[in-house]
């Protein structure tokens, strides 16, 4: 009984917070497709709210949101972003959440059929939509931390969806391959710095590294006219094996394609180059995937005590700052080594050693 009352009270609080945000004009809700919305709360990144029907004959509908509140408390408790969408949709009598009318969609979204001007209107409408943050991934960056990115297949799939296959990507030059020998550096705990690694004979160890550059061009048919943009793609690799070079060539071509499409705006990740947005983009999605892979039964999750903030300190007494990437790296080091890193420099060096593999970092992108 008490548990039911707590759930009801928690839901009421979120509904009231949604109502207050709507009245204050803090919620910017945008419908991206019949069953998906983006909710932007002030200066924060937009969250994605989706609505799915239950399978079978049941008329039950399931809401989901990419925010942390829903990831931790849903689906028993709907977050304020979902409640905001529900309230705004209920305020429009012609829009039914459980039954979308095709005629309404034709008025909201420009048709993809008909003459060239209609097609252009639809393309421009698609390009102006906010980026669905669930598409954003993160990968390790040089040094410490991670950066957001869109995967190559995702960019191609989105281009096919928007332009209807009326686009092409062409390489406009031969790839340029640059190689050099790089000293292998290791962390010296006594000197508190990186020093060259030595072999059994006392010689400095080196490894071959390289960088592949490639130039390409994306062309798109817009209203009977061809729009094109050329850019440069690059990919680093380690080692002198054919496999490493082959993967670097493919990675540089993918990077080039993505950089060309970036000029077309937010749908192709241009927003991710904003430093403030890049700091957190994709983090909610990664946490969501982590939560779903280690799902906790609802009955146990509701009985778990609320989480408390974790204090992280290096061996030299320096506290880990609020940077999420540094905190994640700190926890990974502790999990794999069974101890805390002696200093930030040791953590940075450990991260660098984890990346010392023949697989190019940008291939996965």
Cβ proximity of 84 and 91 under 8 Å: no
**Average of pLDDT values for 258-273?**
90
More confident residue, 155 or 52: 155
Instruction: Give which of 263, 307, 259 is closest to 287, Cα–Cα.
Output: 307
pLDDT digits (tens, 9 = 90+) for 315-336: 877 777 655 667 777 888 888 8
Tokens standing for residue 152: 């190559």
Q: What class has domain 129-273?
A: alpha beta
pLDDT grade for 53, boundaries at 50, 70 and 90:
low
So what's the pLDDT on residue 169?
96
Lowest mean pLDDT among 263-267, 310-314, 322-326, 328-332: 322-326
Sheet bearing 61-65, strands edge to edge: 27-33, 36-41, 47-53, 61-65
**Average of pLDDT values for 233-248?**
92
pLDDT grade for 358, boundaries at 50, 70 and 90:
very low
Cβ atoms within 10 Å of 327's Cβ, excluding its own: 14
So what's the pLDDT on residue 252?
95
Q: For the full predicted model, state whether its pTM sits above 0.85.
A: no
More confident residue, 300 or 52: 52
| 258-291 per-residue burial string, b: 16 or more CB within 10 A, e: under 16 | bbbbbebeebbbebbeeeeebeebbbbbbebeee
So what's the pLDDT on residue 55?
57
pLDDT digits (tens, 9 = 90+) for 195-222: 888 888 888 888 899 999 999 999 998 8
pLDDT grade for 152, boundaries at 50, 70 and 90:
very high
Asked whether the predicted pLDDT for residue 360 surpasses 50, the reply is: no
Lowest mean pLDDT among 59-68, 77-86, 265-274, 281-290: 281-290
Which of 113-117, 269-273, 351-355 is most confident?
Answer: 269-273
So what's the pLDDT on residue 105?
41
Domain ranges of the chain: 1-91, 129-273
User: What does pLDDT average to over the chain?
Assistant: 78
**Average of pLDDT values for 1-23?**
83
């Amino acid at each position: 009984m008490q548990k039911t009352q707590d759930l009801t009270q928690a839901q009421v609080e979120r509904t009231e917070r949604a109502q207050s945000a709507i009245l204050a004009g803090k919620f910017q809700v945008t419908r991206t497709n019949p069953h998906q919305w983006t909710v932007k709360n002030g200066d924060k990144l937009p969250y994605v709210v989706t609505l799915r029907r239950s399978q079978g004959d049941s008329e039950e509908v399931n809401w989901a949101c990419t925010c942390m509140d829903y990831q931790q408390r849903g689906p028993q408790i709907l977050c304020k972003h979902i409640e905001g969408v529900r309230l705004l949709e209920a305020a429009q009598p012609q829009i039914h959440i459980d039954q979308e009318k095709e005629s309404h969609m034709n008025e909201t979204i420009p048709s993809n059929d008909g003459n060239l001007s209609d097609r252009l209107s639809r393309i421009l409408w698609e390009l102006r939509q906010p980026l669905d943050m669930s598409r954003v991934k993160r990968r390790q960056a040089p040094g410490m931390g991670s950066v957001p990115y869109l995967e190559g297949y995702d960019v191609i799939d989105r281009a096919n969806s928007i332009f209807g296959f009326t686009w092409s990507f062409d390489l406009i030059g031969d790839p340029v391959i640059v190689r050099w020998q790089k000293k292998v550096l290791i962390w010296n705990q006594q000197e508190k710095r990186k020093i060259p690694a030595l072999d059994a004979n006392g010689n400095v160890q080196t490894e071959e590294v390289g960088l592949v550059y490639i130039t390409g061009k994306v062309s798109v048919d817009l209203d009977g006219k061809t729009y094109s943009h050329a850019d440069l793609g690059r990919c680093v690799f380690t080692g002198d094996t054919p496999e490493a070079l082959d993967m670097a060539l493919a990675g540089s071509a993918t990077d080039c394609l993505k950089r060309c499409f970036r000029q077309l705006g937010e749908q192709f990740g241009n927003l991710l180059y904003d430093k403030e947005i890049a700091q957190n983009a994709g983090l909610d999605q990664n946490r969501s995937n982590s939560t779903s892979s280690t799902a906790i039964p609802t009955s146990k999750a509701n009985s778990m005590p609320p989480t408390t903030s974790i204090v992280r300190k290096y061996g030299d007494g320096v506290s880990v700052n609020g940077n999420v990437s540094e905190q994640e790296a700190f926890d990974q080091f502790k999990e794999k080594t069974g101890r805390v890193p002696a200093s930030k420099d040791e953590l940075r060096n450990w991260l660098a050693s984890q990346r010392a593999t023949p697989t190019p970092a940008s291939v996965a992108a």
